[in-house]
Amino acid sequence: MPLEDGPAAASKRRSGLRAKGLGRCVPVLFVVGLLSLLGGACDGSGKVATSPDPETTAAFLEETTGARRTGPVGPAVPGERAELVFVEDAVADEVIVLTRTGEVVERIRVGREPHDIALSPDGSYIATGNFGDGTVSIVSVESLSLERTIATGRGTHGVAFGPDGRYLFATNAKEDTLSVIEAETFSPKAKIRVGDFPEYVGVTGDGSTVFTTNLGGEGSVTLLSNRGPDSRVTREFSLGVDPHGWDVSPDGTRIAIANLGSDSVYLLDAATFAQTARFDTGATREFVPFMTEDAAFLTDDEVWVTNIGTDYVSILDLAKNRTAGRIAVGPTPHGVAFSRDRSLAFVSLYEPGELVIVDVAKEAVIERVRVGEELHNVATT
């Protein structure tokens, strides 16, 4: 249910999760110790069961009402570029490329510890933010090969293209800066100081505003007027505890920001960044925070949310202001992205190294593929 803001929303529930001095931004050291409590461990063998245990699924699914969103999975449109799924492995320093059915077609070596991934607006390139060596890697979607690696700053994490494709933005978490990269030549053009320990960066649908979610302190969001290398900070504001992954609605009017430290998702007006709603992703178990990680719009009125401290994805119904359901996907879900026709969801499981494919209409896992060791975010073409 949506919650009103209050003093509790900004309480200091650190839980020992932020790790500026560690080699990972995501609080996995805490999560690993909890996996035995949360269940759903992988057996470690390539492909595993194609659907979750029925009793586990029943325990986590909630009843939903109304017709669901999409039709059956169909073939690609003739002449259309084949759909691909890209997911990062921060241990192997790779981007793994799969078909929409889960077949691995390529493994591409990028920079050290890739933590975020973004597709250029024209679909030609994938960019990764590499936390371990402070670089951004550029991968050609056509050749499935590394085109270039760009030095950006210490602890590079989030990456995002502007909607016009002219600039690529990257956060440098360990130096509190944002790099601006010209996308035509992939050359760095500016570095701008933003909030404390910026993890992710986004751009509004109209391209007017760049924003970073900052994990330092209580957590904040920094807004910049988007003028490429001449972008300037216009405002910074608090948003719960540890704002993290984000998405912009298909119509460009709303922004959803997952809140790692308060197990919630904030909805903001994309024009003013005023808060319009807040959703809890579930009742936090004692000493086991859900650690809401990432958010992705399926439609203008539906958001899917990964909860890395559990084994499920939450579904938020914005029209009815409620949590509409949960899908058990396996331990430590991190990133989520949808297929081109919105019939499939692809969820990366951080610690088991699995990519989980979910039938959106049925809200059920249909395939699991073991692809790596430590998966971060997902992008689809």
The pLDDT assigned to 26 comes to 40
The pLDDT assigned to 341 comes to 97
Query: Residues of 171-196 as b/e, b for ≥16 C-beta within 10 angstroms?
Result: bbbbbbbbbbbebeebebebbbebbb
Q: Judge contact between 246 and 232, C-beta under 8 A.
A: no
The pLDDT assigned to 79 comes to 56
Q: Which residues pair with 119 in a beta bridge?
A: 126
The pLDDT assigned to 294 comes to 94
- Distance, CA of 24 to CA of 350 (rounded, Å): 12
The H or E element that residue 169 is part of is strand 167-172
Q: Judge contact between 17 and 290, C-beta under 8 A.
A: no
10-residue stretch averages of pLDDT, the chain, 381 residues long = 35 34 38 36 34 34 28 44 95 98 98 98 98 98 97 98 98 98 97 98 98 93 98 96 95 95 92 95 52 93 93 94 93 96 98 97 97 97 96
Two tokens, residue 106? 């390529």
pTM of the model: 0.80
Query: In angstroms, what is the C-alpha Rg of the chain?
Result: 19
The DSSP string of 256-316 is: EEEETTTTEEEEEETTT--EEEEEE-SPPBTTB---EEEEEEEETTEEEEEETTSSEEEEE
